[in-house]
Amino acid sequence: MFASEFIQELVPVIKTSTTVADALSLMEEFKITHLAIVNNTEFLGILSENDLLSLDDYDQAIGAVKLSLNNVFVKSEDHIFDVLKCIEENKLSLLPVVSNDNEYKGSILTRSLVGEVASILSVNNPGGIIILEVNVNDYLLSQIASIVESNDALIISAFVKSDISSTKMDIVLKVNKTDISGIIQTFNRFEYTVKASFGEQEMDDFLRDRYDSLMNYLNI
């Protein structure tokens, strides 16, 4: 899952000669707040809507505008996790993709990544969700997986949520069984703290709530 695989073909670019008014018009048309600046095939930077709104002269060229996000991009071979990290750190609506010699390859739309994230988290696969709270020093994925497998189930997705100021971490598991009562009982028997669990209907409500929150964040 590399950056080059998620490029959207119809995302527009602008040149240094493009006017502020034309750039804002493109942002409005495509419902984005960023645009890549490309002359011929050379990537020059990324323009943010915030760079333009305080300007008085909308007829001036983009080349005269001071950019707040000049060197934000990913390489074609960067992993989707690097893409997501860059988007989150810079609050981007799109992310330019360039080659090693700075040739512009295209842009990734933030909203288009929702489906990829859903796939990574196995959202569309039937099953239940279990959230464990463990001490950082006690975290053993092999033991957790063994407990799940002892109940004739498999972990199909797992991720960790941690806080550097805390000695505890949350382990979020998606398993391939909708009846997770036996798994929870086994975790309790091994003295794991089960913070939350979601069966099939509860899981659907949980994921729908998270999906709606993500859509609100992306302003879609």
pLDDT in tens, 130-176: 999 999 988 999 999 999 999 999 999 888 888 888 899 999 999 99
Which carries the bigger pLDDT value, residue 54 or residue 212? Answer: 54
Instruction: Identify the pLDDT of residue 113.
Output: 83
Instruction: Identify the pLDDT of residue 209.
Output: 61
**The dihedral sign for the CA sequence 216, 157, 90, 52:** negative
Query: Can you state the angle between helices 181-189 and 141-149, rounded to 10 degrees?
Result: 130
Instruction: Identify the pLDDT of residue 126.
Output: 81
Phi/psi at 136 (5° precision): -55, -40
Which carries the bigger pLDDT value, residue 121 or residue 87? Answer: 87
- Report the pLDDT averaged over residues 31-38: 96
Phi/psi at 72 (5° precision): -100, 120
Residues 102 and 129 in one domain: no
- Report the pLDDT averaged over residues 28-32: 95
Residues 102 and 150 in one domain: no
Residues 56 and 96 in one domain: yes
Output the average pLDDT for the chain. Answer: 88
Beta bridge partners of 210: none
Whether 155 and 173 have beta carbons less than 8 Å apart is answered as yes
pLDDT beyond 50 at 220: no
The per-residue pLDDT for range 173-183, each reduced to its tens digit, is 999 998 999 99
What is the extent of the structural domain holding 168?
Answer: 121-217
pTM for this entry: 0.68
Residues 17 and 86 in one domain: yes
Domain count, the chain: 2
Instruction: Identify the pLDDT of residue 1.
Output: 77
Return the structure tokens found at 2: 């590399």
Residues 90 and 39 in one domain: yes
Residues 173 and 125 in one domain: yes
Domain of 98, CATH number, reads: 3.10.580.10
pLDDT beyond 70 at 212: no
